[in-house]
Structure 1
Amino acid sequence: MSLNPKLLSCLSVGREIITPARVKDAAEWAEKYRILSEFESAIPGRWSNSVTPYAVQPMRALSNPGTVNVTLMCCSQASKSEIVRNALGFWITAAPGPTLWVMPSVAAAEEAVDERLGPMIQNSIPWALPGGRYDISTKKGIKLTSMRIYPATQGSPQALATRPCRYVICDEVDKYGTNAGKDADPLALAAARIRTYKKRGKFVCLSTPTFRDGHIFKRFDACPDQRHYYFPCLKCGHKWHARWEHVVWPKRPEEINEISWGAQIVAGNLARIRCPECKHEHEEKHRQAMIQGGEWVSSLGLPEDVFGDSVAFQFSSLVNPWADINKLAEKFLKVRKDPTKLQEFINQEMGEIYEDEIDAASVKGDYHAAKISTYAPGIAPNWTSTILATADSQKDHFWFTVRAWGRDGRSRLLSHGRANSFEDLRAKTLDAWFDVEGYESVGGFRMKTGYLFIDSGGGLAGAGDGEASITDKVYKFVETDPKRIIPTKGFPSYKRAKKPISESQITAKGTRAKHFKQVLLRIVDTQYFKDLLFAKIWDGPDWEENSSIDADYGKQMTAERKVMTKTKSGFLKLWKQTSHGSDNHYWDCGVLQLAAADYLKVHLSAPEEVVHAERLQIAKMRQAQGIKLDETPRGARASAPQAPKLRPQQTMKRNGQDFLAAYR
């Protein structure tokens, strides 16, 4: 039986209406089906890839079957979220699967559903998927015929870890915290959701960047395939990654301030994009042609449409068709002297991280080459007033230094190294004896370490094994010799301490079960003493090392730089490690050495000639009594001074000046 030709024609038309034409990627899907409402765009209507040509390649990467990890680090208001929503529309139509959309907060998640995802699905999905049903709920998410979209917040570990998802989208990740409640990194929890889908899954991170340690930059920096949008020079054809350094304008006349000059740049259309090759300068009206002729360049040298397992994209407002380089120049001139506003410009407009400004004065050369000496380790100089040890506590070991100190602020390294237990630390510091030079004619003289100042931090001793924290163990260690072991804690760097070092009574666990003991903790302004240590090392001869230091010791002593840093109290110049994870233990021990000398008032020790005469007397008494070199004879006073009873907030001054000036 044959059907009527007219009926066949009607069925064919109906089939085209009911079944959408297949599209190969999200860019083609957006061009064919995406409808922008007035809530979503300043230019409502059909989506056109020609308006934002830089969005095409990211959409194709999000559609590529073998690409699992996609990172978008870019400026604000440049369609990065629309790129991902277009990919979501393609997934709904061509490759459906459960989707988790993670936002920084509940309010942001609700806004995303109500004002972004909801309108996109209502306006575009019926055209792409005729007959498909959907139910939009702020709390429950979006239920479609083919898949579910679950909104979640980064602070909810249950939402991030309960269900497997084929697609996970983490939006504005630099606004996330470091942990999801008491659980791990929220990005790690979210990424685990796609594990069962293997190569068919997608993990997408997008955000405007903030700092180097932000989530989005870490992912971008870890991705081997980093892509930037290259502009073509309209004169020589050279293509380059356009950055803010390529935007130029005429030099400001001296009689005009920067604010007024910025307004004149806008009024006169004076800003240009300069080609680094031929130096040709392009006006704002030429920038649109440069955007249209631009292309994505891979750090791996891959073609534009070839993507591996992971790919990361970065772009700035220079590729944004709605931006204006003249207005950007005006904004830059307004904010360039204000670190807070400058950070916002670099993050929001350039789509780049804000690099802390390094204080050039805090950068020095090779410490090992500059400070190594011929002094033998373990030999105290004859000007020694006392010997102090300091220790930096780690999870399962300690780093320590032992130094000789003199009345005039001189200090020499006697020993340094690593101790693997409290017993080992005691043996290498508190129980250590050192020969003092200059007393060979009377049988020699030896000194024992007077005090050990130990960092009470260090974190947990074991992960989930029920062990006490290092802090608790340090306090128990202090209890074994409270007169000579001094616990310390650093003062928060973003606050300004009233005094360089103060005291605080705390309650700590004792050596017996259910036993608590009062511990006198010394609070150290580490930023203050780091300034002092840096000056002492490089501005004079008073900080001496011995012949045993190596290159690693030198690296640790120069492992920090002073940088402009954003804190809770605004922008401050703070000492920070030069790179994440670099060892700085000996530097920290040096800081504690200065704090210990401050606390014990070493500069007020007896004059050198008085100490020398006393030591000669002790040596002669030892010879007369026939006792060992490391024992104090009867009737002689111990050579190590006693710790003063320093009252909190006590001012330490000498001759009307801060006593620490004696160490500079």
Structure 2
Amino acid sequence: MKRRPKVEPYAVPRWMAPALQVLRPKKRLPVSAWAEANRILPDTNAVAGPWRNALTPYLIEIMDAFSDDTTEQIVFVKPTQVGGTSAMENALGSAIDQDPGPAMMVYPSDQLAKRTVESKLEPMFKSCPALAAKYRAHESEDLAQRFDGMTVYLTGANSPADLSSTPIRYLFLDEVDKYPGSTKKESDPVSLAVERTKSYRLNRKIFMASTPTLKTGLIWRAKEAAEAEKHYFVPCPHCGAYIELKFAQLKWPSKEEEPDMIQRARRARYVCQECGCILTDRDKPAMLRAGRWQFVRRDSQTPRSVAFWMNTLYSPFTTFEEVVREFLKVKDDPEMLHNFVNSWLAEPWEDTKLKTSADLVLERQTETPAWQLPPWTKLLTGGIDVQENSIYWTIRAWGDHMTSQCVAHGQALSGAELEQVMGTVFPLPSGGSLMVDLALMDSGDQTDAIYEFCLLHADWVIPSKGSSKALPGFYRVSTIDKAGSRANGLQLVLVDTGKYKDMIAARMRRPNGSGSWMVYKGCDLEYAQQVTSEHKVTERSNGRQVERWVVKSTHADNHYLDCEVYAACAADLKNVRSLALQAPAAAPKPRPAPQPTPEEDWIGQHENWI
């Protein structure tokens, strides 16, 4: 058998080896490994010097998600002071050094962007040898930092023009819940910035981080929209079970046991929800190092967007005592408690005092069936909401101390049918009868036709409209000023709908009885759902927080809620709040049947007004 000649390995000349070494592809490190090998934190940081992953181990997977080719968007919902911004800066540094591409960092304002460059980014670029070698400081500007192969643009969310030009591969969005809202001319800043990454759809990275403010805030909406959500779980040193650190598991003595607030906080301990054993701050470092991120929601096997959530109990810089002390200090001040919920618990603030539900409405049923009056009834009012295809209406009985009950509700298909409903004579249990004394009709849509209808039936209905801004009182009576119209000079009631929704929600929560808001026996679910289709939330508007009633879901109908608002305002116009002070009034006589007039065929001529 002929032997194959031995092939000697190719001998690389000594002078060629350095050149080949330069050409060899550089091994790409995950962001966490890159940071530990390269990042130097400045003296202004709480912990200065070389970056150590062991100090904040919960940041490792968040940073490495930026290196994962299957992950496109990282959403970090966080409390303050847990290293979230530093993790974002590490991801930027890794991209500059290992995989250059145009990048943008967006802050709440231009001023903050400039301060961040001076205080954090420039020191990072200069103190890290791997970045300093690529940094073109002489070519850089305040908001455009130049490097070999890429530029890092920095801007404020208050500059829409800067957010809507120049393709971007790496997008970093810091403290997004402090961004200004969208305007009539522009989308919200996050949407504008994300538009810039379209050219890099196959390899873009979007890193979004913020302390939450409200459920309607940008970061919470991004968390809910992510394809997967992860929370950090740590092992209990006693039972070994992996648990999620929750504020509810912090226990401290009661005020009766320990009157001194500082001492109460000092005795705070964490109770494991699995075994009931006590965990202390001494246990936390080892627990954090052994911790792991676990899916709490997963809508895809290979999610392109992943949200990470944690609270301040995980912070190595904060003790359990400090968390409890802060809570005890602010718990009785709504504004300060709001900040605690956001900045310490990383949860959105939600004022639940005026929260309502369909079940709550059904709990307000009495023993009086529909179309019958409770024995305490002294006044009947109506509320009317006009839609394109029908007219929603409600009739409500009123008694002393604002006690009220829905007597009937429904939909009319014409003005004539509505007139017949509102003209119903209701017998009183004690004798006599009542009719709807006054109804308010929403004139926000099909305005001219509604004005004409109210003019023809001015004995029982007045046009109304929700006010676009808060009023000093619950309503304001105005006059229609429309030259050439028959309705010119007709009364128009402007209604502060928010105040009436507050009143309805508050009284709905009272047990049935005096002063409560009630419904008839056998009330249907659709009415209950519509009456509670809105809830009151806190939103940011023009840089400040305002409370508004908004629909709970996009397509929810709220017509019966509007009807009840107008029925309540009609009751105010009839002095319902002073009913208890008034002597019992004689039963009103039924309204006379309408006499023939030149306008008697108006309904027929305008039958398409709904």
Q: TM-score range by the shorter chain?
A: 0.7 to 0.9
Per the TM alignment, residue 216 of structure 1 is displaced from its structure 2 partner at its CA by 0.9
State the partner residue of 1:246.
249
> 1:224-235 counterparts in 2 under 5 A?
224-235=227-238
Structure 1 residues 130 and 529: alpha-carbon distance in aligned structure 2, compared to 1, 3 A threshold: closer
> 1:21-60 counterparts in 2 under 5 A?
21-39=26-44, 41-60=45-64
Residues 404-447 of structure 1 show CA distances to partners (whole Å, capped at 9, x for unaligned) of: 7578787654442377xxxx5x45535766453679xxxxx997
Equivalent position amino acid for 2:250 in 1: V
Per the TM alignment, residue 146 of structure 1 is displaced from its structure 2 partner at its CA by 1.2
Does residue 291 (structure 1) correspond to residue 288 (structure 2)? The answer is: yes
Structure 1 residues 371 and 66: alpha-carbon distance in aligned structure 2, compared to 1, 3 A threshold: same
Across the aligned residues of Structure 1 and Structure 2, the Cα RMSD in angstroms comes to 4.6
Pick aligned residue for 1:522 from 463, 471, 494? 494
State the partner residue of 2:72.
68
Structure 1 residues 188 and 36: alpha-carbon distance in aligned structure 2, compared to 1, 3 A threshold: same
Contact persistence 1:64–1:307 (CA under 8 A): no
State the partner residue of 1:462.
none
> 1:124-203 counterparts in 2 under 5 A?
124=128, 126-128=129-131, 130-131=133-134, 133-134=136-137, 135-139=139-143, 141-180=144-183, 182-203=185-206
TM-score normalised to structure 2 length: 0.78
Give the whole-Å Cα distance in 2 for the aligned partners of 1:518 and 1:610. Answer: 28
Question: Which ranges in structure 1 are unaligned for 5 or more consecutive residues?
Answer: 440-444, 458-469, 619-629, 635-664
Equivalent position amino acid for 2:425 in 1: V
Equivalent position amino acid for 1:391 in 2: I
Pick aligned residue for 1:215 from 194, 218, 224? 218
Contact persistence 1:316–1:351 (CA under 8 A): yes
> 1:385-534 counterparts in 2 under 5 A?
388-392=381-385, 400-403=392-395, 413-417=407-411, 426-430=415-419, 434-436=423-425, 452-455=439-442, 470=445, 474=447, 477-478=450-451, 481-482=454-455, 483=458, 484-490=461-467, 499-504=473-478, 520-524=492-496, 525-526=499-500, 529-530=503-504, 534=508
Pick aligned residue for 1:598 from 572, 590, 600? 572
Equivalent position amino acid for 1:51 in 2: L
Question: Which ranges in structure 2 are unaligned for 5 or more consecutive residues?
Answer: 1-9, 598-610
Pick aligned residue for 2:326 from 323, 331, 337? 331
Contact persistence 1:506–1:520 (CA under 8 A): yes
Farther-moved stretch of structure 1 (480-489 vs 557-566): 557-566
Per the TM alignment, residue 133 of structure 1 is displaced from its structure 2 partner at its CA by 3.0
Give the whole-Å Cα distance in 2 for the aligned partners of 1:565 and 1:198. Answer: 32
Residues 477-505 of structure 1 show CA distances to partners (whole Å, capped at 9, x for unaligned) of: 43664544322335867xxx654433356
Equivalent position amino acid for 2:343 in 1: Q
Structure 2 residue matching 1:245: 3-state secondary structure? helix
Residues 521-579 of structure 1 show CA distances to partners (whole Å, capped at 9, x for unaligned) of: 434442564268538993259977668952111222344678999999x999x895694
Does residue 79 (structure 1) correspond to residue 79 (structure 2)? The answer is: no
State the partner residue of 1:348.
343
Give the whole-Å Cα distance in 1 for the aligned partners of 2:24 and 2:41. Answer: 22
Farther-moved stretch of structure 1 (342-351 vs 478-487): 478-487
Structure 1 residue matching 2:270: 3-state secondary structure? strand
Give the whole-Å Cα distance in 1 for the aligned partners of 2:362 and 2:16. Answer: 88
Structure 2 residue matching 1:429: 3-state secondary structure? helix
Contact persistence 1:474–1:487 (CA under 8 A): no
Give the whole-Å Cα distance in 1 for the aligned partners of 2:386 and 2:173. Answer: 37
Structure 1 residue matching 2:196: 3-state secondary structure? helix
Residues 598-619 of structure 1 show CA distances to partners (whole Å, capped at 9, x for unaligned) of: 213476999775535x77xx6x
Residues 51-81 of structure 1 show CA distances to partners (whole Å, capped at 9, x for unaligned) of: 2111110111112122122100001111111
Per the TM alignment, residue 83 of structure 1 is displaced from its structure 2 partner at its CA by 1.0
State the partner residue of 2:274.
277
Give the whole-Å Cα distance in 2 for the aligned partners of 1:208 and 1:114. Answer: 23
Contact persistence 1:385–1:407 (CA under 8 A): yes
Contact persistence 1:398–1:418 (CA under 8 A): yes
Structure 2 residue matching 1:299: 3-state secondary structure? strand
Equivalent position amino acid for 1:367 in 2: V
Equivalent position amino acid for 1:184 in 2: S
Contact persistence 1:560–1:578 (CA under 8 A): yes
Structure 1 residues 75 and 307: alpha-carbon distance in aligned structure 2, compared to 1, 3 A threshold: farther
Contact persistence 2:405–2:517 (CA under 8 A): yes
Give the whole-Å Cα distance in 1 for the aligned partners of 2:124 and 2:118. Answer: 10
Does residue 556 (structure 1) correspond to residue 530 (structure 2)? The answer is: yes
Contact persistence 1:161–1:193 (CA under 8 A): yes
Give the whole-Å Cα distance in 1 for the aligned partners of 2:310 and 2:95. Answer: 24
Contact persistence 1:478–1:487 (CA under 8 A): no
Per the TM alignment, residue 23 of structure 1 is displaced from its structure 2 partner at its CA by 2.1
Give the whole-Å Cα distance in 1 for the aligned partners of 2:246 and 2:587. Answer: 67
Give the whole-Å Cα distance in 2 for the aligned partners of 1:543 and 1:343. Answer: 30
Give the whole-Å Cα distance in 2 for the aligned partners of 1:145 and 1:95. Answer: 11
Structure 2 residue matching 1:189: 3-state secondary structure? helix
Give the whole-Å Cα distance in 2 for the aligned partners of 1:174 and 1:153. Answer: 13
Contact persistence 1:380–1:434 (CA under 8 A): no
Per the TM alignment, residue 299 of structure 1 is displaced from its structure 2 partner at its CA by 2.0
> 1:532-543 counterparts in 2 under 5 A?
534=508, 538-539=512-513
Contact persistence 1:19–1:129 (CA under 8 A): no
Pick aligned residue for 1:367 from 361, 369, 373? 361
Per the TM alignment, residue 337 of structure 1 is displaced from its structure 2 partner at its CA by 2.1
Equivalent position amino acid for 2:451 in 1: V
Per the TM alignment, residue 363 of structure 1 is displaced from its structure 2 partner at its CA by 7.2
Contact persistence 2:32–2:53 (CA under 8 A): yes
> 1:111-126 counterparts in 2 under 5 A?
111-124=115-128, 126=129
